[in-house]
Chain A
Amino acid sequence: MGNLIQPDMFSQPYMQNALLTGSIAALLAGLVGFFVVLRGVSFAAHALGQIGFAGAAGAVLIGVDPLWGLVAFALTGALGLGVLGVQEHGRDVTTALVLVAALGVGALFLALNTTYATAAFALLFGTIVGVSRDQVWQTAVLAAACVAALTVLYRPLLLATLNAELAAARGVPVRLVSVLFLVVVGVAAAVTIPTVGTLLIFSLMVGPAAAATYLSSRPWRAMGLAIGLALAATWVGLVVAYDTGWPIGFIISTAVTVLYLGARLLGPRTRRRPEIAAVY
């Protein structure tokens, strides 16, 4: 146990940066994930991550910071999916095909790049090294923008999620709210990817939020729980990855699965949806 948290761990600059970006990503993923799970658009969230992957691979190819490639592609993807119309749940063929086509483009960019091997692995499964202090700031700014957008969207989004007809009758622009929310999901995915990787975005965005909705039906409490669980999983991932050198995505996804199964065992048999009275 004495060796688990090594004293020099947090004096390493790269670990400090990884800890900061990881925490920001976990915070944002927990928050956004609450709405993703509530709205049943987890497939779209997964797809936006993979679309971002194509952008990151392209940015690496032309020698630009991958974060900007991620953000550009995820934003475009969110708008595109919003316009084409995302259906609830995994029924959606369009989401599936856009997702695989984006991965195909990512594969092309990686193949054209001569130095792909480690870069590709990091993009797909996450890494704790190679985050610069500049990227920490960029991540923080993007996350703050997302939180601000969610604050504005909070009430109309929650109402549109829980009862779309009632929201429309009250004059909430349901369609616009849904597209804006997807944009927020896209940016959140872009912020999360450098830590956990494209393929494991589910573990931070959907897992903790799903576990939280088993434990509480109050929106604020569920959001807080989701953020707490995501942070816990990320920190465990960082510490273990530092000690062992294992891929961080593996550790985080295992931790989140344990949390999710625990919540399902401890909590009620079905996930609870917030009451409308909690919003209005």
Chain B
Amino acid sequence: MTELDWLRQYVFTPDMFANDQVTNALLAGAVVSVVCAALGYFVVLRGLSFIGHAVTDIGFTGGAGAALLGLNALWGLATFCVAAALGVGALGDRARERDVATGVILALGLGLGAMFLYINTRYVNTPFTLLFGSIFEVDPDTTRVMVVIGLVCLAVLVVLYRPLLFSSLSPETAQARGVPLQLVSALFLACMAVAVAEAAQVVGVLLSTALLVGPAATAGYLVTRPGPATALAALLGVLETWLGIDLAYVSYYWPPGGKGWPVSFFITALVLVVYLLARLIRPGFRRHLPMSISQLPNPGAMPTPGARASCASPSASAIPAHRQRTAAHLREA
């Protein structure tokens, strides 16, 4: 067997594109990756990794409940995710309190989900599919719905982009300038909830955090400005998802044989490896002021380039201190 044949059989099989399930999976995966990456940049910037994870865990209740009622799991997931995100948002922003409260509610959500699965005896595989995903089983109709929802999410994000960036970096100044912080935060959380509900269709409830924060955090290590970082995150997300799908497809020939390895394993492993590589190459998440002067609401009142350069020092890695400093600069001006 030549090396090319070996590659064809064990790494990349051209005939996989002839399979409808695979092409559908590639499309669904791409949509989810792009939406998650775009929102993920702000999730990382605002320090919401845990909230993003908790929201899907609560969404699991909705997914299990929908399966119990015989509905499409996506609707249950999306409803519960959005409700959870808004609830978490209402808990306020004192991180210490919020994390504990979120955790307790998360456990309740998972417990309820377990109860629904226990009552539901129709599908033996439902727990596994819901928790760990099964992208090859997403039906084309659901994919179409996912494309529409994803586009709506992206549209909302485009509208929110500037106030969101402003309020993530310097909440005090943003508020002083009349940005409705609560509304921006709630809308963003709702968008994030929809995105993770979609991601849950691909990699499952428990693993959707990987697509949400992984590519975005990786891009944050490599690129500075938010626009390019978001684009790179989307690209990375799509590549990681597609490679994961490809590997899952060919893993049918891998040991123990006759049985594919789960897609979610490949995607999460790829996401973690790429993230750690990026950390090795460029240590220190680029959290310095990523907005250009013209992006801010009132360009005339902006600090001098010198002040910007001092913000951009790599030592400004911790968000709170950095936020304070940015706010101070803006206030001086």
Contact = CB atoms under 8 A, between A and B. Distances in A.
Our verdict on whether A and B bind, yes or no, reads yes
Nearest to B132: A107
A89 B50 contact: yes
B49 A249 contact: no
A56 to B, nearest CB: 15
Contact of A96 (B97, B209, B264, B267): B209
Contact of A105 (B131, B265, B271, B319): B265
Nearest to A37: B100
Interface string B43-69: 010011111111001000000000000
Interface stretch (B144-152, B174-182, B210-218, B227-235): B210-218
Nearest to A95: B49
Contact of B262 (A50, A111, A246): A111
Interface in B23-57: 44, 47-54, 57
A243 to B, nearest CB: 14
A134 B213 CA distance: 42
Contacts of A43: 49-50, 99, 103
How would you classify the secondary structure of chain A's contact residues: helix, strand, loop or mixed?
A: helix
Task: Indicate the size class of the contact surface on chain B.
Answer: 35 or more
Interface string A86-124: 001111111111111101110110111000110011001
B104 A206 contact: yes
A210 B265 contact: no
A202 interface: yes
Nearest to A114: B259
Contacts of B47: 89-91
Interface of B: 44, 47-54, 57, 95-97, 99-108, 110-112, 114-115, 117-118, 124-125, 127-128, 131-132, 204, 206-207, 209-210, 213-214, 217, 256, 259-262, 264-269, 271-272, 275, 319
A96 B259 contact: no
A23 interface: no
Nearest to B48: A90
Contact of B50 (A96, A98, A112, A247): A96
Nearest to A92: B49
A54 B104 CA distance: 23
Given A90-B47, A90-B49, A92-B49, A97 B111 contact: no
A253 B99 contact: no
A100 B200 CA distance: 12
A108 B272 CA distance: 16
Given A107-B262, A250-B111, A96 B49 contact: yes
Task: Indicate the size class of the contact surface on chain A.
Answer: 35 or more
Contact of B51 (A90, A100, A104): A90
Nearest to A53: B206
A253 B110 contact: yes
A97 B95 contact: no
B206 A253 contact: no
Contact of A253 (B108, B118, B264): B108
The 10 closest A-B pairs by CB, nearest first: A90-B50, A253-B111, A104-B268, A91-B47, A101-B272, A108-B265, A250-B111, A202-B107, A125-B114, A107-B132
A252 interface: yes
